[in-house]
Every structure is written in C-alpha cells, then in structure tokens.
Structure 1
Amino acid sequence: MVAPLWQGDVMADIYPVGIVANGRVVWFAWVSDVYDHVLSKKGVPVSAGSKEGLDHEVAACDGALDWDGESLLDVESLISSVDSGVGVCPDAVIDAWNFMTDLFRVVAKAPRKMFHADMMDTYDAFFSQCDIARTVGLASVSISGRDLDRAKIVLQNGLQMVLSI
C-alpha cells in the first residue's frame, strides 16, 4: 500500500528531507497534508541515497517532490551541539524531533505515537524556545542540563533509526 498523495481533489505537497548520517545524506519524502507523514510504500519509508534516487522513488508512488521546500537536517552536528551545550538551536532540535516522529510512525507502524513520548517535557522545553512559540504567546522555559542529555538520546536514537533503513 502506498501512502495517500491526494487530499480530496488536490495533490498533497511532498518535500524532500535529507538527514546527514555518517558523512552521507539519506533522503526521505515528507508529505504535508491533513495528517503530515513520511511517504511509505508497503509499510517502508520511501528513501534514497541521492536526490535523483528520491525523485525516482516518489515518481514510482505517483508523486512529485517540491524541491523548493527541501530541508537538510545535520543530526550529527546537532548531537555535537546538544552534547556540548554550545550553540544549541531549539528550532533545529524540534525540527529533527518532529521528523523523527513522522519517520518513527512508519517504522514502528504506530501512526499516532510520538517518538520518545516519555520525554515530552523535554520536547516542551525546547519548543518553548522556538520562534513559533513566541508568535503564539507561549512562555519560554529554560532548557536544563537534563533536557540537553535527553535531547541527545532522542537525536542519537533517531539517527540510528535512519541508519537502519
């Protein structure tokens, strides 16, 4: 079964997301529609080791990528930043965590489960520091050393999930 690409009479937007892993990029197709998700085919995330390969894989699912919406997540650098506590970008942590959640939902066949739901207080602390939180009036919460340690675990486990695909 291929993940649905149509929402009513409108084609869903499909964006490429690259995850930097072990000096290479693993590309995934992320679908933005009513229920955002990673494109899958027969229960396996659609991915490739090159942009051309991802184009081919998505076309085989009757879709097309919008490369203007391309995202590249350097999870390895983010792990280093979180580990050192220097230059940590909360928006980048949340972007990576959200993508890993969408990927996890396919890999674990758990369509409504959050990746590392047991650490939602850490997610909330990072989210409170994001630009979007300020625009909707959420109070900023300090990110603790415990939050940094837990974010590192989430990112490392997410990277392992990417490498296992």
Structure 2
Amino acid sequence: MADIYPVGVAAHGRVVWFAWVSDDYDYVLSKNGRPVSAGSKEDLDYEVAACDGTLDWEGESLLDFESLISSIDSGVGVSPDAVTDAWNFMTDLFRVVANAPRKMFHADMMDTYDSFFSQCEIARAVGLTSVSISRHDLDRAKIVLEDGLQMVLSI
C-alpha cells in the first residue's frame, strides 16, 4: 500500500484528523464514499487500520486554518506555501466529499491559486516567474479557506 500520512485541520479549538495517501495520484483515504477522519490521533490510527493501512506519523501535517485566515485578513505574514498546501488538501478532500475525482476545489479561482503558487519555494526551484499577490487574491483565498473549513466541520 502507498504511504499514508495524517493531516490535521485545526480550527475552533479542535483538530479533525484525516488520512492522506501519497501515491501516483494523491488522495484522501475514504471508506464507503466518506473521508476517513477522526477527532484524535488514536482514533485515526484505528480508522486507518480498519482500512488495512498504517499511518506514517513522521509525515504528520497540521493545517491551522484560523491562523492562516487571520494572516490573510491582515495581509501580514501570509505564507504562499501554507495557502497552497491547504488548498491542495481541500482539493483532495473535496474530491471525496463531492464524489468528483478530478475536480479542483474552487476551480473558478485558479488564477488566485496560481498567484500563490508562483511564490512558493517549489515554483522558484523550477524557475516559474513570481506573480504579486493582490488584495483581491487574498480575499479570494479567504473564501477558499472558509469554504474548506466548512467542509471539514461538516464531516
């Protein structure tokens, strides 16, 4: 089986844990059409084991949505890498929740995604031109994160 990593989404004083699978095609682990998730690390271990998998806790990630949204609101200390990581994870989660295996979360805002991505470390490493992030991009990223958070909280 491919590598399975825990991804926590922190907001409103709690963390929802998901099992993210790194394979030829990355995705959120699902069972019976629902994302595998839990309110604790121990429960996530149990849920993944029930799917015949094992979590690699060395690759644990925590996405702090409240801090990210706060930095976007202020326009200070916004991490393009954190925004694109959160957006990519929301896309993988959305594909399970919406049963849309090839759809991008908020595909209507891909120009905003591209602006943030252009400033990421990986984009610089491959020679992509950096694009300025506008207030409009920040406002749109906030919408994406808030919608993503609602998706997480509804699971």
- TM bucket (normalised to shorter chain) is over 0.9
Counterpart position of 2:57? 67
Q: Residue 121 of structure 1 corresponds to which residue in structure 2?
A: 111
Q: Measure, in 2, the Cα distance between the counterparts of 1:22 and 1:113.
A: 28
**Paired residues, what number?**
155
Other-structure match for 1:134: 124
Runs of 4+ in structure 1 deviating by more than 2 angstroms, as ranges, are none
Shift of 1:150: 0.1
Q: Distance in 2 between matches of 1:133 and 1:44?
A: 33
What residue number does 2:76 align with?
Answer: 86
CA shift for structure 1 position 83: 1.0
Specify the code of the residue in structure 2 equivalent to 1:116: H
Match of 2:26 among 26, 32, 36: 36
CA distance in 1, matches of 2:100, 2:58: 29
From 81, 106, 109, give the equivalent of 2:96: 106
Calculate percent identity across the aligned residue pairs: 85
Query: 1:77, 1:159 → 2: CA distance?
Result: 12
For 1:145 and 1:131, the matched residues in 2 are separated by 21
Q: Which runs of 5+ in 1 are unaligned?
A: 1-10
Unaligned 5+ segments in structure 2 are none
1:161 maps onto 2:151 in alignment:
yes
The answer on 1:26 being equivalent to 2:11 is: no
Q: What CA deviation, in whole Å up to 9, does each residue of 1:90-120 have, x standing for no partner?
A: 0000000000000000000000000000000
- Please state how far the C-alpha of 1:12 moved relative to its aligned partner: 0.2
The C-alpha deviation readout for 1:99-157, integer Å capped at 9, x for no partner, is 00000000000000000000000000000000000000000000001000000000000
Deviation at 1:27, TM superposition (A): 0.2
Match of 2:35 among 33, 38, 45: 45
Looking at structure 2, the residues matched to 90 and 83 of structure 1 have their Cα atoms a distance apart, in angstroms, of 14
TM-score, L = length of structure 2: 0.99
SS of aligned partner of 1:17: strand
State the AA in 2 paired with 1:76: E
Per the TM alignment, residue 66 of structure 1 is displaced from its structure 2 partner at its CA by 0.1
